[in-house]
Copies of this chain bind each other. A is one copy, B any other.
Amino acid sequence: MKKVITGTFLDEITHDIPSQNWGPEEWARDFDNMKSVGIDTVILIRAGYGQQATFESGVLKKEMNTLPVYTDLVDLFLGEAERCGMDFFFGTYDSGTYWINGKYQKETDINRAFCDEVIEKYGHRNAFKGWYISHEINTFDEGMMNVYEQLSGHLKGLKDLPIFISPYVKGVKQFGEEAISLDQHVREWSEVFARLEGIVDIVAFQDGQVGLHELEDYLRVNGELAARHGLQSWSNVESFDRDMPIKFPPIAWPKMQYKMESALRSNVDKLITFEFSHFMSPNSMYPSAHTLFRRYLEWLDKQR
C-alpha cells in the first residue's frame, strides 16, 4: 500500500455536519484536490437519510415520502470518480428510524428495493466498484446481523462487488462511563465477525472514540480479529476533532499525524478518512482544514 490516505467518505447526505452548499463546480475542484494527494477511493456516506435522498428514487418517494432532489449526487459523484480514475463505493439508505427502533426487516426491505433501482440506474457505471452498508454498529446486535446478511446477499446478487462497513468503538470519547473495555470490545467483535465472515469483505473501524493512548491496542486487536475471519482491514482516520465543544471542527494536526502513523504501524491495508472535503481540503468552509491540508502535504513529502 501507499503509506498515505487513499480513500475518503463523501458526506452527502450530511447528517450532523453542516452542508458546504457545493454545486458541480465546487465538487469538481475538490475531486481534483483529492486526486492530487493520491485518493483513489470515494465512499458515499449514505444514499439517503430520512426524507432526504441523493437522487430522485421512486422507492424512497413511495416508502419514505422523500423530498424533491434538485441535483443527482450519485450521478455527479460517479462522474467525478470516473473523471479522476477513482473507485466509488455506494452507501445504502438509512431511514434514521426503522433499524434504530428494532424494525430491522423494514430497513432491509426498503434497501433491497432501493438498491434494485440503484443498479438499474447506475449499475453500468465504470466507477461503481463497491457497496458500503452505511448502518453503523459498535457491538454485537442480532437484528443488525440479519440486516447485514440479507443486504449483503442481495447486493452481491445485484452486482458482485466488495461489501464494506465502518463500525465505531463504544469508546470513552463518545460514551463516557458507558464505554466498554478493550476486552469487552474483543468479545463483541469476535462474535460479530464470526457472523459476518464471507458476508462483509472490508472493515474500517472509526479511530476517534478511544483515547489516543489506547488507539494502538484497538488497532492491533481490530486487525487480528478481522484477519482471523478473512476481512480486509482499513482504518478510518477521522479528520475531525472529537475533543472540542464545537461539534465538529477539523482535527488538530498532531492528533491526525499520530493516528495515521499508529494505523500504519498496525499494518492496516488502507487508510481512509471521514472526511476530506469538510475537514482537510483546501476548499473546505473551515479555514483550519486548509492548514490541516498544508500540514498533511508536508507530512506526505516526508513519507516518500
Complex Cα distance, B19 from A285, in Å, reads 15
Binding site secondary structure of chain A? loop
Complex Cα distance, B153 from A153, in Å, reads 71
Complex A-B: 7 CB contacts under 8 Å: A19-B288, A21-B250, A71-B254, A245-B247, A245-B248, A285-B288, A286-B287
A positions within 8 Å CB-CB of B:
14, 16-23, 26, 51-52, 65, 67-71, 211-213, 241, 244-254, 257-258, 285-288, 291-292, 294-295, 298
A19-B67 contact given A246-B246, A285-B286, A285-B288, CB 8 Å threshold: no
Residue of B whose beta carbon sits closest to that of A296? B21
Note all chain B residues with C-beta closer than 8 A to A20. Answer: 287-288, 291
Q: How far is the CB of A240 from chain B (nearest CB, A)?
A: 10
Note all chain B residues with C-beta closer than 8 A to A247. Answer: 245-246
Note all chain B residues with C-beta closer than 8 A to A291. Answer: 20-23, 26, 285
Complex Cα distance, B246 from A247, in Å, reads 6
Q: How far is the CB of A251 from chain B (nearest CB, A)?
A: 8
Note all chain B residues with C-beta closer than 8 A to A16. Answer: 244-245
A52-B254 contact given A213-B67, A291-B23, CB 8 Å threshold: yes
Residue of B whose beta carbon sits closest to that of A261? B68
Q: Is the CB of B287 within 8 A of A285?
A: yes
Note all chain B residues with C-beta closer than 8 A to A21. Answer: 250, 252-253, 288, 291-292, 294-295
The 6 closest A-B pairs by CB, nearest first: A19-B252, A21-B291, A18-B249, A285-B287, A245-B247, A285-B288
Q: Is the CB of B288 within 8 A of A18?
A: yes
Note all chain B residues with C-beta closer than 8 A to A295. Answer: 21, 23
Note all chain B residues with C-beta closer than 8 A to A68. Answer: 254, 258
Q: How far is the CB of A234 from chain B (nearest CB, A)?
A: 23
Q: How far is the CB of A192 from chain B (nearest CB, A)?
A: 28
Complex Cα distance, B68 from A252, in Å, reads 14
Q: How far is the CB of A254 from chain B (nearest CB, A)?
A: 6
Q: Is the CB of B65 within 8 A of A213?
A: yes
Known A22-B291, A51-B212, A287-B287; 9 more pairs at CB < 8 Å? A14-B252, A19-B288, A21-B288, A21-B291, A51-B213, A67-B213, A246-B246, A246-B247, A285-B291
